[in-house]
Chains A and B, each alone.
Chain A
Amino acid sequence: MKKTMLWGIVGLSVVATSALAGEGDRVKAIKDRGELICGTSTGTTIGLSTLDASGKWAGLEVDYCRAVAAAMFGDPEKVKFAPLEFKNAFAALQSGSVDMLARAAAWTYTRDTEMKFDYAGVYMYDGQGFLVKKSLGVTKLADLNGASICVSAGTTTELNLSDYFRTNKLEYTPIVTNSREQNLANLEAGRCDAYTNERGGLAASRLGLSAPDDYVILDEIIAKEPLGPIVQQDDPAFRDVAAWTLFTLINSEEKGITSKNVAEMASSSENPEIQRMLGKTGDFGAKLGLANDWVVKVISSVGNYGEIFDRNLGAGSPVKLARGQNELWSKGGLLYAPPVR
């Protein structure tokens, strides 16, 4: 009796494995689950992903995840955020415990090739800079010779820092921690002399210090940091959804579609590209496996890229970061999404 049961379990599990083994389908898994799982920071990356006292997530990366959820389910709340320390983030994506990472991770060769990830575009063009206390009198990087520098574990900034100081024959002590708040606390306590990270992130993080004006970001940029959403390579369809959600956010800003006018645009716009985007004509949604009015859902729930940036990092936020390179190509920035055709 007991044995029969055992064999039953073994047999069932083998059958279950073989039945499921053929599925590599991330989109199907997400739809079956009924929500997207997005790997984010531990909730302290001001401007990108923060978790407030009531458990509400906010930030540019968070809004991007909500946009993907809105695209797939028509509901921006159908997303679960998994707070991850950076040094665990890629392992979590590889193991499949999160569907995508929107976690201030720069697009690099190794991550794209050897680690078998796919980047679905870039939502923030940034560069690696240094935040230092004004009172130290440091004006350029060479002044930091012999300094202790705070950096997050397992990041590209950690590697860039090491490369830069090595090639420039400068000495430094890395103070490696797992999160922004630890780095900031260390910087504030004088445990390290400088904190290196993306400049945009530093500008936002500075607000987490008790006296933000006592600190300055050095002008020098030691490396490019193109931040984008990362997915696994196992399902091209999901990558397409992730990429075209991002492109749509950018294209909408370019076409002047905002959360306020999207409903009106959807019904009355004469522009054929806008009509295609908003699902009035063509099958923009169907080819991605989404509802045809998915863009309307996305834009009406989180707004276009400009609105998202403004709300979290730009003029509408305490960070007051200038758009800079994160401006549309037509306005001298780097944001350039493929056309909907």
Chain B
Amino acid sequence: MAVSDQNMATGIWSGAESDEADAQPHLGPRQRWARRKAILQQAAVLLLVAALAVFVIRNTVVNLQARGLASGFDFLWQEAGFQMAFSLISIDPTSTYGRVFLAGLLNSLLVAALAITAATILGFAVGLARVSPSAPVRYVARGYVEIVRNLPLLLHLLLWQAVVLRSLPTVREAIGLGGFGFLSNRGLYLPAPVAGDAMAIAVAMVVTAGIAAIVAGWVTRGRAQARGESPPRFGPVLIAGGLIANAVAIATLDWQIPVLAGFDYRGGLKLMPEFVSLVAALTIYNSAFVAEIVRAGVQSVGRGQREAALALGLPPKLILRLVIVPQAMRVIIPPLANQYTHLIKASALATVVGFPDLVNVFLGTSLNQTGRAVEIVVITACVYLALSTTVALATSAYGRRVKLVER
């Protein structure tokens, strides 16, 4: 704990020190004056901020009264009356604004989670290509990064929305993906598993395989560490095991394949184009930044580290895994978390393409229908602040862990 504190703002450090200084019994006149000055300065700033808050609140109350606007959170239990094109929980016109809020929030989280996962994978691949020993690979990766990150995210999004996805064929001329899925300008249609016994069994299998892998890894690592050896490589075994478990699970499931009926495909899973373009734009844009973070992380590990590991006779693959990656990760994680926060916030661009995320259905439509501006703005702000705080807390927790491991 104490170690990581050292890494925080120097201001906090110096603050702690000056407290110690203040605690000393004998203060000269200069110190006493400095101390009094500090208290006065802080009081002045606090008063100013309080006055500003009073000013804003007072204005708001006056304005709300002048316009005769209702206030309160009771609207959350009122019927919203509109539908959402996509939601993870069932929404119909009789749903309340509270439920609409929840559905919007879940949609935002879904977009953010998918885009974070995809951007991380793509970004790591490109980032490692940026430091590849092969020059052409490096140039290609560099080209990708330079093209992608110098264009505004909103332009990426509009390009996907208005150029890529709108030029797809109509639903009647949908592109078949091996007879199982279909791609049209109405979205991507994929087979979906039918909920039932088969699904329960499959999920149980995958979960069991996962747990077994974790336990196996943990046990062997513990044993290897106890003996002072490097842990045995489980990667290929685990991947093969996981693949087999997943293949069996997929085979045992009942799959519902979408069929064209009337205006649209029915059955299966449908991903609307707004969703696809949003996730694609967020993924590609952020992957370029992730790539640069990864590159900087890998390059931050000094040449000496690699040379020392080579001198110790470690094979190159182990050098990457045991020497380079753990050290690079310490450099990579904080900016990576920053990028994740960026991405979560940027998912609010859904409102531009019409995907029903939190900002679109709540700060947009719901606010327009109910007129509860202050309440809705406050709720939305709280949600986003909670999300960014969560990411920040998780990062600092990770930071503490790697610090302790290091020392």
Say whether A and B bind each other.
Answer: yes
Residues of chain A touching chain B, judged by Cβ–Cβ distance below 8 Å, are 2-3, 6, 9-10, 13-14, 17, 21, 24, 86-91, 94-96, 110, 114-116, 144-148, 153-154, 158-159, 162-163, 166, 173-178, 182, 185, 189-191, 193, 232-234
Contact A176 B44 (CB under 8 A): no
Q: How far is the CA of A95 from the CA of B74 in the complex (A)?
A: 20
Query: In the bound complex, do residue B354 and residue A88 qualify as a contact, i.e. CB atoms below 8 Å apart?
Result: no
CB pair A24–B44 under 8 Å, yes or no, is no
B356 within 8 A of A: yes
**B313 interface hit (Cβ, 8 Å):** no
CB < 8 Å neighbour of A146 from B68, B261, B273: B261
By the criterion CB–CB under 8 Å, are B81 and A116 in contact?
A: no
- Say yes or no: A145-B262 contact (C-beta < 8 A), given A17-B59, A89-B368: yes
Task: Kindly provide the distance from the CB of A151 to the nearest chain B CB, expressed in whole angstroms.
Answer: 9
Report the separation of the CA atoms of residues A3 and B45 in the bound assembly, to the nearest whole angstrom.
Answer: 9
* Cβ-defined contact, A6 with B48, below 8 A: yes
Q: With A13-B51, A154-B364, A190-B170 in contact, do A185 and B162 touch (Cβ < 8 Å)?
A: yes
In the complex, the 3 A-B pairs of residues with the closest C-beta atoms, listed nearest first: A190-B170, A154-B368, A177-B354
Q: Flag if A176 contacts B67 (CB, 8 Å).
A: no
Closest residue on chain A to residue B62 by CB atoms = A21
The verdict on B121 contacting chain A, using a C-beta distance below 8 Å, is no
The winner among B266, B351, B371, B373 for most chain A CB atoms within 10 A is B371
Select which of A17, A95, A191 is within 8 A of B186 by beta carbon.
A191
Q: Report if A94-B48 is in contact (Cβ < 8 Å); known contacts: A17-B59, A116-B371.
A: no
Q: How far is the CB of A44 from chain B (nearest CB, A)?
A: 15
Known: A90-B368, A182-B354. A13 touches B373 (CB 8 A): no
**Cross-interface CB contact of B273 among A21, A89, A90, A191, cutoff 8 Å:** A191
Contact (Cβ within 8 A) B262 A94: no
CB atoms of B67 and A233 under 8 A apart: yes
Residues of B within 8 A of A17 (CB): 55, 58-59, 62
Q: Could you mark each residue 177-216 of chain B with 1 if its beta carbon is under 8 Å from any beta carbon of chain A, else 0?
A: 0000000011000000000000000000000000000000
Measured between beta carbons, the chain A residues less than 8 angstroms from B48 are 6, 9-10
| A residues less than 8 Å from B93 (CB atoms) | 159, 162-163, 166
- Whether the Cβ atoms of B373 and A91 lie closer than 8 Å is yes
Give the CA-CA distance A178 to B82 in the complex, in Å: 15
Residues of B237-284 contacting chain A, CB below 8 A = 261-264, 266, 273
Chain B residues with CB below 8 A from A87, complex form: 360, 364-365, 367-368
**Is B66 part of the binding interface, using a Cβ–Cβ cutoff of 8 Å?**
yes
In the complex formed, the residue of B with least CB distance to A90 is: B368
Task: Please name all residues of chain A whose beta carbon is closer than 8 Å to the beta carbon of B186 when the two chains form the complex.
Answer: 148, 190-191
Seen from chain B, the residues whose Cβ lies within 8 Å of a Cβ on chain A are 40, 44, 47-48, 51, 55, 58-59, 62-63, 66-70, 81-85, 92-93, 162, 166, 170-171, 185-186, 261-264, 266, 273, 351-354, 356, 360, 364-365, 367-371, 373
Cβ-defined contact, B365 with A173, below 8 A: no
Cα of A176 to Cα of B366 in the assembled complex, Å: 14
Extra A-B contacts (7), CB below 8 Å, given A95-B63, A176-B84, A234-B66:
A6-B47, A147-B264, A153-B364, A158-B83, A166-B92, A176-B85, A233-B68
Q: Please name all residues of chain A whose beta carbon is closer than 8 Å to the beta carbon of B67 when the two chains form the complex.
A: 94, 96, 116, 232-234
The chain A residue sitting closest to B171, CB to CB, is A190
Interface residues of chain A: helix, strand, loop or mixed (majority): helix
Known: A96-B63, A153-B360. A146 touches B171 (CB 8 A): no
The answer to whether A147 and B263 have CB atoms under 8 Å apart is yes
* Complex Cα–Cα for A190 and B368 (A): 29
Whole-angstrom distance between the alpha carbons of A87 and B58 in the complex? Answer: 27
**In the assembled complex, which residues on chain B have CB atoms less than 8 Å from the CB atom of A14?**
51, 55
CB distance from B80 to the nearest CB of A (A): 9
What residues of chain A lie closer than 8 Å to B170, measured between beta carbons?
A: 189-190
Q: In the complex, what residues of A have CB within 8 A of residue B264's CB? A: 146-148, 173
Q: How far is the CB of A106 from chain B (nearest CB, A)?
A: 13
Nearest-neighbour CB distance to chain B for A89, whole angstroms, equals 7
Contacts of A193 in B (CB 8 A): 263
Could you tell me if A162 and B83 are in contact, using CB atoms closer than 8 angstroms?
Answer: yes
Closest to B261 in A: A146
Contact B368 A91 (CB under 8 A): yes
Chain B residues with Cβ below 8 Å from A2 are 44
Q: With A114-B70, A162-B81 as known contacts, state yes or no: A189 contacts B63, CB within 8 Å.
A: no
Chain B residues near A86: list those with CB within 8 A: 368
A91-B166 contact given A10-B47, A153-B360, A232-B67, CB 8 Å threshold: no
**6 A-B residue contacts at CB 8 Å?**
A6-B48, A94-B371, A116-B70, A159-B81, A189-B166, A190-B171
Please pick, from B44, B47, B354, the residue contacting A153 in the complex, using a CB distance under 8 A: B354
For A183, give the chain B residue with the smallest CB separation: B354
* Cα of A234 to Cα of B59 in the assembled complex, Å: 15
Note all chain A residues with C-beta closer than 8 A to B262: 145-147
**Are A189 and B263 closer than 8 Å at their CB atoms?**
no
With contact pairs A21-B62, A114-B70, A191-B185 given, residues A3 and B360 touching in the complex (Cβ less than 8 Å): no
> Known contacts A86-B368, A146-B264; is A94 also within 8 Å of B69 by CB?
yes
Query: Residues of A contacting B273 with CB < 8 Å?
Result: 191
Q: Is the CB of A10 within 8 A of B51?
A: yes
Across the interface, A6 reaches (CB within 8 A) one of B44, B82, B162, B354, namely: B44
Q: How far is the CA of A128 from the CA of B66 in the complex (A)?
A: 34
Q: How far is the CA of A96 from the CA of B66 in the complex (A)?
A: 11
Closest residue on chain B to residue A87 by CB atoms: B364
A21, B63: Cα distance in complex, Å: 8
Q: Cβ of A166: which chain B residues have Cβ within 8 Å of it?
A: 92-93
What is the distance, in angstroms, from B50's C-beta to the closest C-beta of chain A?
A: 9
**A91-B368, A234-B68 in contact; A185/B166 too (CB < 8 A)?**
yes
Contacts of A21 in B (CB 8 A): 58, 62
A321 to B80 Cα, complex, angstroms: 34
Q: Do the beta carbons of B63 and A191 come within 8 Å of each other?
A: no
